[in-house]
Structure 1
Amino acid sequence: MPRSRANADDGDFRTLPQQVAAELRRRIVLGEFPPGAHLPERETSAALGVSRTPLREALRILASEGLVVIRPARSPEVADPSAQDLVDLFSVLRVLEALAGELACLRAGPAEIDEIRACHARLLTLVARGEPAAFFDADMAFHEAIVRAADNAALLKSHADYNSRLRRARFMTSRVDTDRARIAYEHAQILAAIEARDTRWAAATLDTHLRSANRKILEAYGEDAAEKRRPRTGRAAR
């Protein structure tokens, strides 16, 4: 549960609204707040153990990321992107990550490559475990390390925006893509390309990897769409 203030003692320098946004983001990604779910201030602030003021600021943060929709005189809602929305977003993300791979080959120093290696090593320890959330976090950390290694502030910002909008959809792939060994192998190929400073290889392996992820997202979305069409119970009133 978010604390009442940022705590420098344990290394968390986030403001309270940022902490609340992080907790809401986590619950949205995990499906605790499904697409289209209403987030009325009173119930949501009580569930998170915070007042309405930091909650409102947190909701504005998530709205800027495309995870929440805020409309006048209505409760905020968890964004409910269409299949076409996901296709459009992912087509841009794929280009951004391919560019990140190319730039990482050209700009990454030893420390940045070591960080990518460490992320890959962490993912390998999770291949055989039944921890989908931990595996997903390690997967995302690997990709984010590559983007940081590209050393391009504009790319970093754009990637964070698109990745945030797609994070829940990417997590959903764990329901249909259980071949973790394949994912780990593809990550190993991406890492090898960056270590070799081979820009074409890096871009191509990232593009292939993300095309596969895109297909899995749409498969998962198809299953989820049928679920969303069923009437919900216990949904908060506007």
Structure 2
Amino acid sequence: MQNSDFDAGVAASPLMPKVERQRLHDTVVEHIRRFIVEGVLEPGKKLNERELCETLGISRTPLREALKVLAAEGLIEISPNRGASVSKMSEAELRETFELMSGLEAFSGELAAERMTAAELAEIKALHYAMLACRTQNDLAGYYSRNQAIHDKINEAARNSALRQTYVAVNRRLQALRFRSNFQIPKWDSAIHDHDEMLKALEARDGKKLSAILRQHLLDKRDAVLQVQSREEVAASVLKA
């Protein structure tokens, strides 16, 4: 999907219903955010307002309001003369942001192992098994949504509001890249192995072990993303030659 154009990506997705007027603002933001995360709207792509309005069944006013929200999150860049486009991180920015997230995830895990309730652990286990089911069906989008829910629940269980605020802001910028890190099957399966180990550490209330697993998990994602981007750049240069 990452190499398809916008129309092809929308046609291939089974989860693109017309937006209802109720909760219109939040729904539009969520739809466009998902387009970005799943690669329907690729990094650097200029947004066509007419196409987006037709796809979502909305007028330009709610669309532009949603784009402002996404711009504040760092997912969209808005230029007075060129319109809106999907943000694209430089290699240096990508490395630094993943390094920061690895630290945030590690700290979340250390605190969560101490503070997580039995009910929260049971919820994470249910998400874990649902995630494994998606893997057997090669459902990357379904897998990713449950994967991110697990990481999010761990962060929430840390019960640190300052950490939570920073985590949410940084993670929004990395979601599309984290999704891309699973394009290769070996990387996908390696991530599942990491999640198996995370669950064992949570059940044992071993904060130090969970912290170490999460830190390396994010650094491995960084390396996988860099490999994907490097191959795409080589392929693009060959096409231009």
- The correspondence for 1:204, drawn from 208, 212, 234, is 212
**Which residue of structure 1 aligns with residue 100 of structure 2?**
92
Alignment correspondent of 2:20: 4
Equivalence for 1:19: 27
2:159 maps to 1:151: yes
CA distance in 2, matches of 1:61, 1:230: 37
Which runs of 5 or more structure 1 residues have no equivalent in the other structure?
A: 7-14, 233-238
Match of 1:110 among 93, 99, 118: 118
Contact 2:19–2:56 (CA<8 Å) still a contact in 1? no
CA RMSD in angstroms, aligned pairs only: 2.1
SS of 1:50's equivalent? coil
Q: Which amino acid aligns with 2:82?
A: R
The within-5 A match list for 1:68-83 is: 68-83=76-91
The alpha-carbon distance between structure 1 residues 48 and 228, as it changes in their structure 2 partners (threshold 3 A), is farther
Distance 2:69 2:239 in 1: 29
Instruction: Supply the AA of the counterpart residue of 2:20.
Output: S
The 8 Å contact of residues 187 and 224 in structure 2, kept in 1 or not, is answered as no
> What displacement does 1:33 show?
1.5
Structure-1 residue corresponding to 2:173: 165
| 8 A Cα contact 1:59 1:68, kept in partner | yes
Structure 2: which 5+ runs fail to align? Answer: 1-16
Q: Residue 224 of structure 2 is aligned with which of 212, 216, 219?
A: 216
SS at match of 2:122: helix
Measure, in 1, the Cα distance between the counterparts of 2:85 and 2:238.
18
Residue 198 of structure 2 is matched in structure 1 by 190
Q: Write out per-residue CA displacement over residues 113-145 of structure 1, whole angstroms, 9 at most, x where no aligned residue.
A: 112111211122223222222222222122111
Structure 1 stretch 100-109 or stretch 134-143: which is displaced more? Answer: 134-143
Which residue is equivalent to 2:4?
A: none
* Distance apart, 1:231 and its partner CA: 8.6
The corresponding residue for 2:66 is 58
Deviation at 1:169, TM superposition (A): 1.0
Report the AA paired with residue 47 of structure 2: L
Query: Quick check: 1:169–1:221 contact (8 Å CA) kept in 2?
Result: no
Does residue 129 (structure 1) correspond to residue 137 (structure 2)? The answer is yes
Q: Describe the shift of the 1:180–1:4 C-alpha distance in structure 2 as closer, same or farther (beyond 3 A).
A: closer
* Aligned counterparts of 2:185 and 2:94: Cα–Cα separation in 1: 17
What does the per-residue CA deviation read over 1:17-55, in whole Å, with 9 as the maximum and x for residues that have no partner?
211111111111222211111124334323321011111
Letter in 2 for 1:147: N
Q: 2:186 corresponds to which residue?
A: 178
Residue 109 of structure 1: how far off its partner (Å): 1.0
| TM superposition score normalised by structure 1 | 0.86
The 2-side partners of 1:112 and 1:39 are apart by 39
CA deviations 1:176-227 (Å, max 9, x no partner) are: 2435443222112112212222221111111122221111111112123345
Q: Is the 8 A contact 1:34 1:78 kept in 2?
A: yes
1:83-128 residue CA offsets vs partner (Å, 9 max, x unmatched): 1111111111110000100110121111111121112111222232
8 Å contact 1:2–1:16 — kept in the other structure? no
